Amino acid sequence: MNTHIESPAVGVTSRRPAILALALVAALAFCPSGAVLATEKAVVIPPPADDAVAANASTSETAVLAGGCFWGVQGVFQHVKGVTNAVSGYAGGEAGTAHYDMVGMGHTGHAESVRITFDPKQISYGQILQIYFSVAHDPTELNRQGPDVGMQYRSTIFPSNPEQTRIAKAYIAQLDRAKVFGKSIATTVEPLKAFYPAEAYHQDFMTRNPDHPYISYNDLPKVDNLKRVFPDRYRAKPVLVGTGA
């Protein structure tokens, strides 16, 4: 199911406004002061016991992660120190279907994903995953995140090499054993066939549209959680697509 209603000509996108309106009403009902409650709460989790070794790291690596709407996942990692770029896109399907209107139908195999380029001497792959599981999305939701439903919104890690596969699988098992989420993790680990950048109007969407109702309710609280839970990892100025700064 495609939960976006888009207007590429003006670059404005809306996600399920009726459901969002109901969510806002429900939030206000439980918050007499009028402040909107965050749709997701951060879960404080331990770091991975098995992680990459910084001493042997290259100058640049990538991680491809899917965790619901790519606006929020991209926005979170754009505020992470050591991240040099974060691009919204599609992974899991074929090149011919890597288009928003097709992915939104939920039958292409693609997931809305983010390709995160990072300096492994500043932040490890395991630390990237810790932020992903803790604040970027809810890894216990199966084929959905918040108001967005469908395979294209699944929680998936797309490792680019055997070491990333090992770290990801070991960390999922570690967190499940510790029962830090209270229920099983739904995140899958799938081979990375290729990553296809999304359309330009999806890039840097959080930064360009901070007052968009979907962003303010669903995604800005994730950045607040990043700042609160990982203060040493937080950077105030986001690294935007193509700027490298």
Cα distance between residue 199 and residue 179, in whole Å: 38
Cα distance between residue 8 and residue 3, in whole Å: 15
Distance linking the first and last C-alpha atoms of the chain: 36
Cα distance between residue 208 and residue 7, in whole Å: 15
| Amino acid symbol at 55 | A
Give the sign of the dihedral formed by CA 232, CA 236, CA 241, CA 243: negative
Cα distance between residue 61 and residue 83, in whole Å: 10
Residues 6+ positions from 210 with CB-CB distance below 8 Å: 216, 220
**In Å, how far are 3, 6, 13, 143, 164 from 151, measured between CA atoms?**
12, 19, 20, 5, 23
The DSSP call for residue 167 is: H
20 contacts 28 by C-beta, under 8 angstroms: no
Give phi and psi for 238, each to the nearest 5: -70, 150
- Residues catalogued as catalytic: 69
Helix, strand, coil content of the chain in percent (nearest 5): 35, 20, 45
